[in-house]
Structure 1
């Protein structure tokens, strides 16, 4: 680890010359020493892993970010976790938020050429941060013997709605994080040729956006996509412009007036973002309800839609997973009590339109259940939401990626650890349900008091991720064989169980065939 020490000693004069409370606080602290007696700016989060906070880019409001180069002092700035990017409901935020939190096993040193994982947090592109305890990367780094970096990026209107029409600022942020990671990790024992990008929910959508960005392709080798609502697709430029116009109308500024834009308060911008989020589907149904603010297929940065009609040839290995009850938190929050089939029909018609709803209702794949004489459409709505937004659309993507040349591994979690946001939803905390986000603490090994099943799955997934990060293949001696998908079959496995995942409605001739995805209906 001499290289790491040299790297930090080189950078310290740059840090200490800066006038900021963070730097002043750092200068007043005693150095942290790990078992190698290496003085550094990190923080020992467990006896065998050190955490660093890296400022990877600078950005003016609504301008593309610029990476902080090594020569300029890509910053191992502080022991404290960084402020989150501005988002509603949080006061501990700052527009100066382009940081990575990097976890490095102490065993990794010069010449090791360890793999790295860049994790992109979820939160519908409007919330989340690298400081979430659930994505503390220390346990994952130790188990996989890899460098785990958790990245923050601009959110909501600040990340996707520049008044002058600039799009995909947040995508550019993550690309700059990858550039800094590529440049910096060889100095601390990592290999720039073994970088995997990964994310969950909107973080997984960001991963998919990077797969569709040729300028980012050389920055990572493989990708992990967890619970990506692929049904939505990327926004088209036309839909983005409609949303942009509505967003701009929330302010009195001329879109080209940078001075006026700079004078706007963060709270006003967040309010405009929230208003856009709530109104987006009425502006254009293609925006959808779950991620209306999201990456745009602009033809410049993101050059491919990655839908069934448009796929590049690829050699990148990907791992795609969903959870068995993806829509559980949404449906059972929306409907805390049983609902009738009549209500279900109204929901389906509102969600899918009459034609698609009629096909679904006539298929007998989502039959409304009756229990104790009480009709309850929630289980069928939950199954349909899971299939429509997550499982079947992910399986369609996986088959197409495989047919385009990329090794593809597909899985479905049937064991999870209840995510804090799901703790107040009875459905998600009972009867073995695994709701959206309940896979996160399994992967990161941050589940509180895991039971035997959870512990076994944590060990399995971390072993599989270790193999995938090193080789692009998640197969490990002693664990069940995980076969790659083909153009006709995902060969999906149960994660937390044994054998293949049930196909159910996720056949090529139903979802994406008889019943179109949103991206097909709206031509995205």
Structure 2
């Protein structure tokens, strides 16, 4: 057992040995008050200080959510609680001595699922290997975190569509005020995340109240464009209320609705959304034009907000492969080229007639005629992940902070190699979990340990000093050449990879 003494009260954790290093682990620390009762659908409030010792030897509950279907291989069922979900975990090499860089992780899950205590996010290995303090955070999900109730409930609910993000800001304030008690440097905080977690980071970059809460940001397969207008969010809210058996006149009843009923309606909305897209169903998103997010985050970044923050971002080569290979077939599904055209038009911003131009650009990139599956996979990857990342880098041109880009290309051997360098495959490399049972479905025991060492080291060196360092290779800033580190068994740097596709989307946006 080991104790730490943050301002909110003494916490008791455990000490573990990892790779011949000692790591102190504190789990389930409350950083905000319970978001229940009169606080449901309202911004978080700081955690009240406690007397005595808070037992932080076991994980806290996740935010309310439905089980994932299909669940990721090796995923344990999550325990959730609306009352106690706003908690965080800390792994630190020491609670005293030199202040260490702090890395605050935001989990993914389409703003619908996930937990800071999922095995793949255990920060012990990363903390032990790199000497950083690793923090993982829970935040409200789904309707409880992103339902736009401003138009139907009025005062006090103006920011109900951004509660998950406001939770993260409250967690970062807690880190600033308390991480020194865990050996961390409150002036050197890096916020990082993957998928929806990276989208949350990208959105935080565009929130005025985030200024000064973190020095650096890492976005793995994320975007600063995952938000809606208040009008679009109001339409989703009306549909959700209908699924709850309510209308605008009875909207106030949702404040006391059992959370299980909210989750039931949430799953129905997810299924509707999934049936309407060949890409990634995202029924819940933040709303811009609201008090905490007055402008779309990409516009705010382009205008100079958080210009001093150092940024490292990138994507995996085959981000769309799960959506292609794992989506159940449905009667009436069109062929892959038509699906690709629908994705490019609805999500990517290309006109339907531009699909042949996209196919031609992809042929140049691949140096071969793409199959229908390849066309759809690439269309999803470009529309949802890669081109939004390119646009964020462009918006950061001239920023005071440094900008670095990567493309992760190591291919998973799972499913006979069909998944390629798929979505989320980078996570076990960053957290040094490539040999764990949870990673086995994707890595099949063949992941190069050297790549994990390189990536976790680069992430930690970026957190420490704003420069990602790779063994034997200089990683230059993105800059006018669009320098990009290719992360694979053989590391290299390439200028403007997949240029033809980037140029196509850039021309379409003009």
Q: How does the TM-score come out when normalised to structure 1?
A: 0.80
In structure 2, relative to structure 1, the CA distance for the partners of 1:416 and 1:349 (3 Å cut) is closer
2:506 aligns with: 512
The aligned residue for residue 84 of structure 1 is: 62
Cα deviation 1:335-388 (Å, max 9, x = unaligned) = 889xx9x8133213322349623213135123599xxxx994112221222222
**Within 5 A, what are the aligned runs for 1:184-195?**
184-195=178-189
SS in 2 for 1:195: strand
Alignment counterpart, residue 354 of structure 2, candidates 353, 359, 364: 359
Give the counterpart of 2:43 among 55, 59, 64. Answer: 64
Q: 1:144 touches 1:465 (CA, 8 Å); kept in 2?
A: no
Summarize the Cα distance change of 1:215–1:45 in structure 2 as closer, same or farther, 3 Å threshold: farther
Aligned position for 1:154: 140
Query: C-alpha displacement at 1:404, in angstroms?
Result: 3.4
SS in 1 for 2:396: helix
What is the CA–CA distance in structure 2 between the aligned matches of 1:10 and 1:508, rounded to whole Å? 48
Q: Is the 8 A contact 2:106 2:136 kept in 1?
A: yes
- Alignment check: 8 A CA contact 1:345 1:357 kept: no
- Distance of aligned partners of 1:262 and 1:325 in 2 relative to their CA distance in 1, 3 Å threshold: same
Counterparts of residues 386-401 of structure 1 (less than 5 Å): 386-401=381-396
Matched with 2:484 is 492
Q: Find the counterpart in structure 1 of residue 439 from structure 2.
A: none
What pairs up with 1:379-390 in 2 under 5 angstroms? 379-390=374-385
Counterparts of 1:391 and 1:410, CA distance in 2 = 11
RMSD: 3.5
Question: How much has 1:146 moved relative to structure 2?
Answer: 1.0
Q: Count residues in correspondence.
A: 466
Q: 1:359 to 1:239 in 2, by over 3 A?
A: same
Match of 1:445 in 2: 432
What are the superposed Cα offsets for residues 14-55 of structure 1, whole Å, 9 maximum, x if unpaired? x8xxxxxxxxxxxxxxxxxxxxxxxx4335364611211211
Deviations 1:93-113 (A, max 9, x none): 1112111011111xx343411
Matched residue SS, 1:500: strand
Contact 2:324 2:373 in 1 (8 A): yes
Is 1:273 the counterpart of 2:255 in the alignment?
Answer: no
Aligned-residue offset at 1:213 = 0.9
Structure 2 residue corresponding to 1:137, chosen from 105, 123, 142: 123
How far apart are the structure 1 equivalents of 2:498 and 2:343?
21
The aligned residue for residue 70 of structure 2 is none
Q: How does 1:449-488 map to 2 (within 5 A)?
A: 454-475=448-469, 478-486=471-479, 488=480
CA contact (8 A) 1:49 1:104 kept: yes
> What is the CA-CA distance between 1:312 and the residue it aligns to?
2.4
Cα deviation, 1:283-339, whole Å, max 9, x if unaligned, reads: 9x9x984323112213421233243696122121000011111111111223889xx
The aligned runs of 1:218-257 (5 Å cut-off) are 218-229=212-223, 233-252=226-245
SS in 1 for 2:113: coil
1:408 corresponds to: 403
Alignment match of 1:301 (pick from 274, 292, 298): 292
Structure 2 CA distance for partners of 1:267 and 1:491, relative to 1, 3 Å: same
Name stretches of at least 5 consecutive residues in structure 1 with no aligned partner.
16-39
Could you tell me which of 290, 308, 311 is aligned with 1:315? Answer: 308
Q: Which residue of 1 aligns with 2:110?
A: 124
The 1-side partners of 2:53 and 2:315 are apart by: 35
Residue pair 2:214, 2:309 contacting (<8 A) in 1 also = no
Aligned residue for 1:84, secondary structure, equals coil
Alignment-derived partner of residue 440 in structure 2: none
Alignment-derived partner of residue 172 in structure 2: 178
Q: Distance in 1 between matches of 2:119 and 2:219?
A: 20
Look up the match of 1:100: 88
CA shift at 1:258, angstroms? 8.7
1:41 aligns with 2:32: no
Identify the residue that residue 21 of structure 1 maps to in structure 2: none
Q: Which deviates more, 179-188 or 438-447?
A: 179-188
Q: Shift of residue 158 of structure 1?
A: 0.9
Alpha-carbon separation, structure 1, partners of 2:402 and 2:41: 37
Equivalent position of 1:50 in the other structure: 24
**Most deviating of 194-203 and 347-356:** 347-356
Contact 1:202/1:228 (<8 A) preserved? yes
| 1:158-204 CA-partner distances (Å, limit 9, x unpaired) | 11116435220111111111111111111222111100000000000
2:111 match: secondary structure = coil
Structure 1's 290 and 361: CA in aligned 2 closer, same or farther, altered over 3 A?
same
CA separation of 1:334 and 1:251: change in aligned 2, threshold 3 A: closer
Q: Is contact 1:395–1:490 with CA below 8 Å preserved after alignment?
A: no
Return the alpha-carbon distance in structure 2 between the equivalents of residues 178 and 428 of structure 1: 39
1:45–1:291 Cα change, 3 Å: farther
Match of 2:202 in 1: 208
Cα distance, 1:91–1:318 mapped onto 2, change above 3 Å: closer
Gaps of 5+ in 2: 68-76, 437-442
Residue aligning to 1:7: 5
Q: Secondary structure at the match of 1:347?
A: helix
Other structure's SS at 1:307 match: helix
